[in-house]
């Protein structure tokens, strides 16, 4: 008798690789670099809005030139401010990143991670001026992407789901349908509310000294929600018009 494999114990290699890179970067900063070298490393690879402010950048040029102006939109996601920061992001990346990686495959998933990280950096650039590190924006993008298929009938959150990879290959809900599903609305509302609370200073109330880049989280989340279809390799369902054999939009209770 074949036993059903639980996907939680079968994390895709692309997700493991991201976690390993983040851990190695943090270990190298802590144990291999001097303070001066670490500062230069951050100036080269962290996302620093001052880099894009001509008046402020004139006070001291940033290393890397125009190339770093581009790559820091992504490389900041592999740098973390502390062990706690790294651990929290890894814990969130494992389930949500794994769900998206199983659906997209490694190449599409890594591209999606980079795009949502860049979207988070862009949102941060438009709304804040503090330097930023961490994978939270890209993880937020994965959380948003998972809502497009995880809540679907037969999807990963359905108790009656199929074995192995089947739930991750269910056709995704069209965005207009997904945004009429109460479960998804509650999930998005709770996620947005939590980020706004952190933006208003709730992080200090729970003992977190690091400032939360909540604008970047929202930028990554919106990118994941809106750009999902550009990366999704699973064929979209037929137009939901109520024809026989088509899955109707969920009824709101």
Interacting residues of 193 by C-beta distance below 8 A, sequence separation 6+: none
Kindly list the domain boundaries of the chain, sorted by start residue. 10-231
Instruction: Tell the burial category of 251 from Cβ atoms under 10 Å away from its Cβ (0-12, 13-18, 19+).
Output: exposed
Rounded to two decimals, the pTM is: 0.84
Q: Which among 22, 146, 135 is positioned nearest to 89, based on CA atoms? A: 135
Task: Tally helices (H) and strands (E) across the chain.
Answer: 11, 0
Per-residue pLDDT tens listing for the chain (253 residues):
444 444 445 899 999 999 999 999 999 999 999 999 999 999 999 999 999 987 765 556 788 989 999 999 999 999 999 999 999 999 999 999 999 999 999 999 999 999 999 999 999 999 989 999 999 999 999 999 999 888 776 666 655 555 555 767 778 888 988 888 898 999 999 998 888 887 666 454 444 556 788 899 999 999 999 999 999 998 765 544 433 334 444 333 3
Tokens of 19: 């976690």
Task: Tell me the CB-side half-sphere exposure of residue 241, using CA atoms within 13 A.
Answer: 3
Domain 10-231 belongs to what topology? Rhomboid-like fold (1.20.1540)
């Amino acid at each position: 008798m074949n036993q059903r494999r639980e996907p939680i114990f079968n994390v895709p290699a692309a997700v493991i690789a991201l976690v390993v890179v983040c851990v190695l970067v943090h270990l190298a900063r802590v144990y291999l670099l001097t303070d001066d070298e670490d500062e230069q490393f951050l100036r080269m690879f962290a996302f620093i809005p001052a880099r894009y402010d001509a008046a402020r950048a004139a006070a001291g040029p940033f290393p890397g030139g125009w190339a770093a102006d581009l790559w820091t939109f992504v490389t900041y996601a592999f740098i973390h401010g502390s062990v706690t920061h790294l651990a929290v992001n890894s814990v969130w990346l494992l389930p949500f990143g794994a769900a998206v990686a199983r659906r997209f495959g490694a190449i599409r998933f890594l591209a999606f991670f980079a795009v949502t990280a860049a979207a988070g950096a862009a949102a941060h650039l438009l709304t804040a001026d503090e330097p930023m590190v961490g994978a939270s924006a890209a993880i937020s993008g994965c959380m948003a992407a998972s809502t497009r298929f995880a809540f679907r009938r037969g999807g990963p959150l359905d108790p009656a789901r199929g074995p192995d990879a089947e739930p991750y290959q269910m056709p995704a809900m069209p965005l207009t349908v997904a945004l009429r599903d109460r479960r998804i609305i509650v999930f998005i509302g709770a996620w947005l509310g939590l980020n706004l609370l952190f933006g208003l200073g709730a992080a200090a109330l729970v003992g977190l000294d690091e400032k939360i880049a909540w604008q970047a989280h929202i930028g990554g989340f919106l990118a994941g929600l809106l750009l999902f279809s550009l990366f999704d390799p699973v064929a979209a369902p037929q137009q939901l018009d109520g024809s026989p054999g088509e899955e109707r939009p969920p009824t709101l209770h």
